[in-house]
Structure 1
Amino acid sequence: MNKKKVLQVHPRDNVLVALQDLQKDETVSFGDKVYTLRDAVKAKHKFVIEDIETGGKVYMYGVLVGKAKQPIATGEAINLGNLSHAASDFVIGERHLDWHKPDTSAFKDRHFMGYHRSDGSVGTANYWLVIPLVFCENKNLGKLEKALVEDLGYGKTETVDIQSGQLIDLYKSGKSIEDILTADLATEVAAPKKERLFKNVDGIRFLSHTGGCGSTREDSDALCGLLAGYITHPNVAGATVLSLGCQHAQASILKAEIKKRAADFDKPLYILEQQKIGVTETFLSQALKQTFAGLMQANQMQRKPAPLSKLCIGLECGASDGFSGISANPAIGYTSDLLVSLGGSVILSEFPELCGVEQNLSDRCVDEATAARFSHLMKAYNDRAVAVGSGFDMNPSPGNIRDGLITDAIKSAGAAKKGGTSPVTAVLDYPEKQIKPGLNLLCTPGSDVESCTAEVGAGANIVLFTTGLGTPTGNPIAPVVKLATNTPLAEKMPDIIDINTGSIIEGTETIEQAGARILDYVIEVASGRQIIAAERNRQYDFIPWKRGVSL
């Protein structure tokens, strides 16, 4: 364990971060000063290093993150009782586009093995999609999934399936409730039941959702745009679309959104309308035949070498903790800078979690028009939230707060570290597609599954997802690499964690070393040589954003 007890993230900060649990009255040395703690300070939490009067400003990451509700004495921990959210106003100012590009010599001759599409994009996987245009088709979606997944070799027996059978046998043999509760059940997961028929198709993914009708036209149109983003995605070979016929999300809108993203779209696409075809059995039979034909076409694709510039990485965080902005987030920020320097693309989203760092991001926009769009989207989103009694300041979850992210500005300043230091080349509104290399900002909620769903819809062919508390989030078509911010989490939840960055907190690895290690791992995942935890767990989360307020 690192002997260092505290960390100052930025020279301007008037708080220190506890790297381990600290006791009340304990003395802590930092620089040439010694502080006596007035409170017990848990690891990940912060205490002030100067007396702060009521209304006084608290800084972390070099930015304003809160104002004192009452006097806070030197050595006192910040908490919800003495600190309220505050962030600096921002204006569209001068461009600050100079940045220190990282050394990319170790990666200049590297490539990944991907699926090359006719539009020049390259996928890190090769999936077939089955999509309902409206929630009314979810039941039919389930029937197709049952008919296709297991028989084509994409299903497997889970541990819980095995254990369920064992419990049934114990019950039939007359065992008591206590026997059931203390039974020693099997923990091994069986191998796939059948050999995969289509060797070059990584899977068939079924994007069930609750939209398409019964809400606003804005939501149904956005859903069509999101689904078009998935259909045209480089990780997708083609799609079967199930439409009822009368819903808001019309097939014609979907086709227009596809054309908007891919003018020369040439993937196999089958759209079936149940109200035209009639009998459900006939409808499903046609869908089954067309999907099978599409899989035969998709199976003709093979992985081939591709430059790293063809990677587009989504940058995501969820169940964050007080170490997120110190370890995992800056580590993938360095990965981001490496990829941008190599000609690749990254997408930073979760606009409620950029509150407080708007000035820095605005100044990094390549031109004033891009900065103006960022400003407009941020203010419009927050205003919309305030209008219904919320606001960006209400973004931190109970888990965030419990682990040291007291205000939205503290959470945001750490979350923004995922974007590295490169210029912002584009600002996208949901559900737009990423087309420019470099750092892209995408307007999404802070809700991690909605945000991750949107990043992939915008074109991310792999996602780096940091977590301090642990979350199993995955995606149907893009690998979601889970990074732990601390070693105890990585050891506690190894079934959902892919990479541990707790080494940064422990002082055994630098942010730059971790960032390069992460890019090495990304190359293996993108090439299909490394299977991530979310894929092993079949964690395929898909939640479209309804444009109403979701933080």
Structure 2
Amino acid sequence: MHVNTLKVHASDNIIVALRDLNKGETVATAGASYLIKEVIPAKHKFAAKDFEVGDLIIMYGLVIGQAFQSIKAGELISVDNVKHATKPAVIADSFNYQWQPPQVEEGRTFMGYHRSDGQVGTRNVWLVVPLVFCENRNILEIKRQLEPYLGYNSPDFDQLGELVHLGSQGASVNDIQNYGLNLSDAPLALDRPFKNVDGVKFITHHAGCGGTRADAERFCRMLAGYLLNPNVGGATILSLGCQNAQISLFEEILAQMAPAFDKPVYIHEQQQSASEKAFIADAVKSTVAGLSQINQIKRAPASIKHLVVGLECGGSDGFSGISANPLLGKISDRVVAAGGTAILAEFPELNGVEQNILDRCVNKSDALNFKRLMEEYGLKAKAAGSGFEFNPSPGNIKDGLITDAMKSAGAAKKGGEAPIQQVLDFTEQLNFRGLNLLCTPGNDVESTTALAASGTNLILFSTGLGTPTGNPAAPVIKVSSNSVLAKRMSDIIDFDAGTIIDGQQTMEQAADDLLELMIRIASGQEYSCSEVLGQEDFIPWRQDLSL
């Protein structure tokens, strides 16, 4: 049954509009009725009571704002009358958080790539990546030379040659813009010479030099994390020679992180080569040799306890926190209950829900670590003339997320209800199965880049406004908060959680369907939309200044 409004938590004093509400109509929710005093757009909230200046605004059972104007019941909650506010968080003396794990079907498996360190990949990819941005052009040249022979197809525009010909013959701007140009429906993988390799990922970036030594070390640690990711079979690495991210530094960090590392890695240094042509030729030969090596591994059944699921959101809207994000939380809890791992990132989007996070930590040291990381991050934001309160983007605000605490309260739902086993800083590797936290920015790509560096072999990404983000190592599965988006941007959305808003499915039914899709994608039976589109975003988090 379709409903018009939603009171998310019994103690909330604002109500979510699930459709556009007109001035003068009366709506009912949670046993109470409300006269709407002005137009309330879908995804936005209206006051469930009269507010005076200074009154706290409650949603999800949490303080998410404070009124700085008087607001009458039935009036719109907006940036014109509410500002960001949170309740201070405290660390408890004892840690005995209890939760009831959901029942999961025993024996669920996916077809994965078993690595010598016990991890299991959902993909088997080869990376071609530079140690420094100076090598970006050479990465693209290797891609240009190799790709036609690898059999990995990306959709092309039909009739593009004819369009270029028309333009060269003086066709009008109007004729060119109205020309019928459509993407082909060719499959992602054609006749691949390396049948057990899921892709060669050519990565470019702007890190490795020109900044602090600490940033160079963090980048090397992050890149080493990519080589340790179970989805990565090996890599060709290009070095210029004089950069901060030295080959020796990278090799030292990799050896520290994984003394028994045994994946094939070929490193080439341009300043030691006879010519650029010879340098490229050597890198091409190494890449083909590496592909031959990792092509020997085949998929085999693996328990879903080997899934390491990254939890991310971007382009959020007013429905994200009541459909897509709680759905990801259900999946997170199911994966954890099955013995698997989930990683919740984006620390700026946990501002305002610290108490819930602290209460769920299994030990005091991790609670202290989380509090320290949040405080240090907040101080750096203020030193830059900003703050967590500025996290909501114009698109977030337009679609109903008016304070950072409101956005955070919904974003945190991705983490479900499981206890938090460990709090990790950027580039740190997993030590425990279960739910983990990873300190990353709210920037979608910096965060997904970091998630893969810490070991995720699959990423669930909720969005309400639509974003195409992908990753070179881990398949990114997009979950829309609303059905309008799923229909409008069907080429980037893998799963529609709008059925929950529309009342077509319960949260549990949607979780059943999403888990099945995850297993098919993890097994290589399907590709995520971002993979089909070749969306392989990679932005290392540079924490210090450029020098």
The TM-score with structure 1 as length reference comes to: 0.96
SS of corresponding position for 1:153 = coil
Hey, what does 2:95 align to over in structure 1? 95
Corresponding position: 1:497 with 2:496: no
For residue 389 of structure 1, give the secondary structure of its aligned residue in structure 2.
Answer: coil
Match of 1:488 among 474, 484, 488: 484
* Structure 1 unpaired stretches of 5+: none
In the other structure, the counterpart of 1:532 is 528
- Tell me, in whole angstroms, the C-alpha distance in 2 between the residues paired with 1:395 and 1:536: 30
Change (3 A) 1:156 1:6: closer
Alignment partner, residue 52 of structure 1? 51
Return closer, same or farther for 1:223/1:522 CA change in 2, 3 Å cut-off: same
> What residue number does 1:223 align with?
219
1:143 aligns with 2:141: yes
Instruction: Please tell me whether residue 17 in structure 1 is matched to residue 16 in structure 2.
Output: yes
Contact 1:65 1:87 in 2 (8 A): yes
Q: Deviations over 1:97-143 (max 9, x none)?
A: 20011011xx3111010000000000000001111000001111111
Moved more, 269-278 or 465-474: 269-278
Write out aligned runs for 1:107-126 (5 A): 107-126=105-124
CA distance in 2, matches of 1:360, 1:157: 44
Alpha-carbon distance, 1:149 to partner: 1.5
SS at 2:244 equivalent = coil
SS at match of 1:92: coil
Counterparts of residues 169-208 of structure 1 (less than 5 Å):
169-172=165-168, 174-190=170-186, 195-208=191-204
Task: Using the TM superposition, give the Cα deviation of residue 230 of structure 1 relative to its aligned residue in structure 2, in angstroms.
Answer: 0.6
Q: Is the 8 A contact 1:150 1:194 kept in 2?
A: no
> Aligned ranges for residues 63-462 of structure 1 at < 5 Å?
63-93=62-92, 94-104=94-104, 107-156=105-154, 158-159=156-157, 162-172=158-168, 174-190=170-186, 195-462=191-458
Corresponding residue SS for 2:469: coil
Q: Check 1:376–1:182 CA distance in 2 against 1; reply closer, same or farther (3 A cut).
A: same
Q: Which amino acid aligns with 1:10?
A: H
CA shift at 1:441, angstroms?
0.3
Q: Is the counterpart of residue 514 in structure 1 residue 510 in structure 2? A: yes
Residue 541 of structure 1 corresponds to 537
Q: Give the AA of the match of 2:111.
A: M
Q: How many angstroms does 1:191 deviate by? A: 5.5
CA distance in 2, matches of 1:424, 1:184: 52
Which deviates further from its counterpart, 309-318 or 181-190? 181-190
Query: How far apart, CA to CA, are the structure 1 residues paired with 2:281 and 2:153?
Result: 21
Superposed CA deviations along residues 162-202 of structure 1, whole A, max 9, x for unmatched, are 34322123235553332222223344344679621111111
Shift in Å, 1:308: 0.7
Q: Secondary structure at the match of 1:240?
A: strand
Q: Distance in 1 between matches of 2:213 and 2:318?
A: 40
Partner secondary structure for residue 77 of structure 2: coil
My pick for the range that moved more, 532-541 or 512-521, is 512-521
C-alpha distance in 1 between matches for 2:451 and 2:298? 25
Task: Return 136-145 or 182-191, whichever deviates more.
Answer: 182-191
Q: Is contact 2:155–2:184 with CA below 8 Å preserved after alignment? A: no
Q: Does the aligned pair in 2 maintain the 1:150–1:193 contact within 8 Å?
A: no
Three-state SS of the structure 1 residue aligned to 2:520 is: helix
28-37 or 496-505, larger mean C-alpha shift: 28-37
Deviation (angstroms), 1:503: 1.0
Give the superposition deviation at 1:156: 4.0
Q: CA deviation at 1:295?
A: 0.7
Distance in 2 between residues matched to 1:32 and 1:310, nearest whole Å: 44
Q: Which amino acid aligns with 1:81?
A: D
State the alpha-carbon separation in 1 of the partners of residues 484 and 188 from structure 2: 32
- What is the letter of the counterpart of residue 112 of structure 2? G
Distance 2:244 2:544 in 1: 17
Cα contact 1:134–1:210 (8 A) shared by 2: yes
1:344 Cα deviation after fit: 0.3
SS at match of 1:239: strand
Residues 399, 163 of structure 1: alpha-carbon distance in 2 compared, 3 angstrom cutoff: farther
Amino acid at match of 1:3: H
1:253–1:167 distance in 2 versus 1, CA, 3 Å = same
Q: 3-state DSSP class of the match of 1:150?
A: helix
> Is the contact between residue 314 and residue 462 of structure 2 (CA under 8 Å) also seen in structure 1?
yes
Once residues 22 and 430 of structure 2 are traced to their aligned partners in structure 1, the CA distance between those partners, rounded to angstroms, is 48
Answer whether contact 1:150 1:156 (CA < 8 A) is retained. Answer: no
8 Å contact from structure 1 (residues 14, 59) kept in 2? yes
- Whole-angstrom CA distance in 1 between matches of 2:303 and 2:188: 33
What are the superposed Cα offsets for residues 193-237 of structure 1, whole Å, 9 maximum, x if unpaired?
Answer: 962111111111112100100012221111111110111110011
Structure 1 residues 345 and 388, CA, compared in 2 at 3 Å: closer, same or farther? same
Identify if the C-alpha distance between structure 1 residues 490 and 157 changes in structure 2 by more than 3 Å, giving closer, same or farther. Answer: closer
Structure 1 CA distance for aligned equivalents of residues 169 and 386 of structure 2:
55
The whole-number CA distance in structure 1 between the counterparts of 2:21 and 2:220 is 52
Matches of 1:19 and 1:166, distance apart in 2: 47
Q: Distance in 2 between matches of 1:173 and 1:250?
A: 51
Q: Which residue of 1 aligns with 2:25?
A: 26
Deviations 1:1-31, CA, capped at 9 Å, x for gaps = x531100000110000000000112211224
Q: Distance in 1 between matches of 2:133 and 2:502?
A: 48
1:333–1:515: 8 Å Cα contact kept in structure 2? no
Higher alpha-carbon deviation: 507-516 or 184-193: 184-193
Q: Which runs of 5+ in 2 are unaligned?
A: none
Q: Does the 8 A contact of 2:57 with 2:63 survive in 1?
A: yes
Deviation at 1:278, TM superposition (A): 3.7
Letter in 2 for 1:98: Q
> When the two structures are superposed, what TM-score results if normalisation uses the length of structure 2?
0.97
Contact 1:315 1:419 (8 Å CA) reproduced: yes
Give CA-to-partner distance per residue, 1:484-539, whole Å, 9 cap, x none.
Answer: 11111111111111000111111121212222221111111110001111111111
CA separation in 1, counterparts of 2:106 and 2:72?
A: 51
Structure 2 CA distance, aligned partners of 1:343 and 1:269? 31
SS in 2 for 1:142: helix
CA distance in 1 between counterparts of 2:526 and 2:472 reads 17
1:96 Cα shift?
Answer: 4.3
Deviation at residue 157 of structure 1 after TM alignment? 5.2
* Mapped contact 2:124–2:197 kept (Cα < 8 A): yes
Which deviates further from its counterpart, 473-482 or 502-511?
502-511
Whole-Å Cα distance in 2 between the matches of residues 253 and 39 of structure 1?
A: 62
